[in-house]
Amino acid sequence: MTTRLPRLKSSRSAAVKARLDHPVIDTDVHVNDYTPALEDYVQHYGGSALVDALRKSLGGRFATRSAAGKDWYQQTPEERQHHRTLRAPWWARVTRNTLDLATYTLPELLAERLAEQGADYSILFPNDVLAPAAASDEFRQPLHRAINHFHADVWKKHAHRLTPVAGIPLNTPQEGIEELEFAVKTLGLKVINIAGGVRRPIPSIAEKYPKAEHPDVARHASYTDFYGIDSPHDYDPFWAKVVELGVPVTTHYGSQGWTGRQSTSNYMFNHIGHFADGSQAFAKALFFGGVTRRFPQLRVALLEGGADWGSHVYTHLVDRFEKRNRHAIQNYNPAHADIELLAALFEEYGGELTKGRPVDKATLLRDSLGVSALPHSRDPVGDELDDFLAAGIQSVEDIRERWVKPFYFGAEADDRTVAAAFNTKVNPLGTQINAIWSSDIGHWDVPDLTEPLAESWDLVEQGVISAEDFRSLVFSNPYRFYTEANPDFFRGTDIAAKVSDQSQVQGG
């Protein structure tokens, strides 16, 4: 006879949930894959070669290696310095709390414990979905297809309360479209996760140092294509397909290994703030590249970086637009300087600087601007003057429409900086940023899955956010994110049964 192991029947979060008059939607739950079961699917799609590619992709997601092929843990401190080998994440999963470890791996157990977590509905990010984007061209698409198929089958039974995301590769728009259509039309998945950028070789360097002959040069001499601006590809067909299929887009895009996040010894040095920085680059590319203008129905959730950065970028966009819009930029045009006035002021006040030397009007403007502002070979002209042109920004209200409306920002439970999202006194035009509750359970920052909802309610009791802000965070904003992309997103789910009064979703 099988003996059921004792499990929690109540929790702080369950107690908080019992007091609420609205559902709770968790936008970011990380689950583990039972390797033998996953590899059966991978084997089906590509045989042992694809299984090997999966293992290499997962094992090398963050790993960096020396020219001798040794990873960080195989190198001496001196070798790490010599090769500048990045200290990668380590011990990133819950283990001591073995019940939670099993919960993240066993669908039946997670479904059973959802009430302890305090959530009515959760979006699942299988950790393996986040990995194979860096796989080789030969294996990238079949790996994504196999992994997505596995998750669609494993979680189908619990679709009324749990839904996994589909991982979509985006090295080219076409591969993204192909895997998007397979995931949505064939597998029935309804949320996608993409990397916020793709590393590409710098053409001028790649021509001089071909990858086959100079792999170390190729590994370091690259740039990141964020899809929306300065890309060698036109990604509009992909965004159009996303909107056509009504799919919310999510990303867990980090910046470990970027300049300023390259410690060879300290993971925390590389980690703090890296999701915010990575997502910021991706979101700004969509904004300045005009993607959010051309596709106003597009909805993108930027997870694990917090919501405060969404607020401060919005504020900085407004500040900079007011100073450097197409018309205001003329305040800094050298052609508008009054050389006669400048010379007269030098004559009256500049004796100590000129020391009796005659002032040359022909070079006076250049000399006054200083060495750091020496003129370019030519001045920018026409559209080069307007950094906001592609975004179509002509007013602060346009910025609100194309930054605040399409983007949603994942805020973890204990993140006090979420208050910035709701600060209408600071955010331009009295705007709230779309913060969405993202427990991040399954990762090291959540040692107990029963705590996150209660931790977020603690912020209410501490006066960090209001009860109405909390409602927006855990329900109204997540609900709007998914249903603005797809009005039928929650059809047939527990959420649909609980949201009979549409006034519940107002606010936020």
5 by Cβ neighbours in 10 Å (0-12 / 13-18 / 19+) ranks as exposed
What does the pLDDT average to over 78-89?
Answer: 88
Residue 80 CB contacts under 8 Å (≥ 6 apart), including other chains: 72, 87, 264, 265
pLDDT at 440 (0 to 100)? 93
- Mean pLDDT across the stretch 449-478? 97
> pLDDT, tens digit, for every residue of 317-365?
999 999 999 999 999 999 999 999 999 999 999 999 999 888 999 999 9
Scored b (16 or more CB within 10 A) or e, 29-41 reads bbbbbeeeebbeb
How many angstroms separate the CA atoms of 101 and 324, rounded?
Answer: 51
The domain total for the chain is: 1
Query: Helices 236-245 and 173-181 meet at what angle, rounded to 10?
Result: 20
Q: Is pLDDT of 502 > 60? A: no
Q: What tokens appear for 450 in the block?
A: 């029963």
- The residues, any chain, with a CB within 8 Å of residue 235's CB and separated by 6 or more, are 170, 173, 176, 227, 228, 291
Mean pLDDT score, 123-135: 82
Residue 127 near residue 442 (C-beta atoms within 8 A): yes
Position 376 scores a pLDDT of: 76
From CA 251, how far away is CA 195, in angstroms rounded?
Answer: 6
| Partners of 26 in beta bridges | 122
DSSP assignment of 318-332 equals HHHHHHHSTTGGGGG
Residue 365 in domain:
no
- CA-to-CA dists, residue 130 to 54, 302, 330, 365, angstroms: 12, 14, 45, 53
CATH number at residue 485: 3.20.20.140
Is residue 347 one of the residues assigned to a domain?
no
pLDDT score of 3 more than 60? no
pLDDT band at 372 (very low <50, low <70, confident <90, very high): confident
Q: Give the span between the Cα atoms of 384 and 349, in whole angstroms.
A: 36
State residue 158's pLDDT score: 97
Residue 370 domain flag:
no
* Number of Cβ atoms within 10 Å of the Cβ of 383: 10
Write the single-letter amino acid at 258: W
The bridge status of strand 407-411 relative to strand 300-302 is parallel
- Is residue 362 assigned to a domain? no
Within a domain: residue 328?
Answer: no
**What pLDDT digit, counting tens, does each position of 229-274 carry?**
999 999 999 999 999 999 999 999 988 888 888 899 998 989 889 8
User: Does 353 map to a domain?
Assistant: no
Q: How far apart are CA 303 and CA 30, in angstroms?
A: 12
Condensed to tens digits (0 to 9), the pLDDT of residues 400-448 reads: 999 999 999 999 999 999 999 999 999 999 999 999 999 999 998 999 9
Domain with 153, as residue range(s), is 23-323+392-505
Please report the sign of the dihedral spanned by the C-alpha atoms of residue 462, residue 463, residue 467, residue 470: negative
As a whole number of angstroms, the longest Cα–Cα distance in the chain is 104
What gap in Å lies between CA 495 and CA 23, rounded to an integer? Answer: 7
Res. 188 pLDDT band, cuts 50 70 90: very high
In a domain, 64, yes or no: yes
3-state DSSP call for residue 99?
A: helix
Residue 373 inside a domain? The answer is: no
Smallest Cα–Cα separation from 101: which of 31, 37, 154, 36?
31
Question: In 10 A of CB 442, how many CB atoms?
Answer: 26
* CB neighbours of residue 353 within 10 Å: 10
Average pLDDT for the chain: 91
Q: Is the CB of residue 94 less than 8 Å from the CB of residue 101?
A: yes
The residue type found at 488 is D
Please tell me which residue, 193 or 58, carries the higher pLDDT value.
193
Contacts of 185 by beta carbon, 8 Å cutoff, 6+ apart: 245
For the residues 208-236, what does the mean pLDDT come to? 91
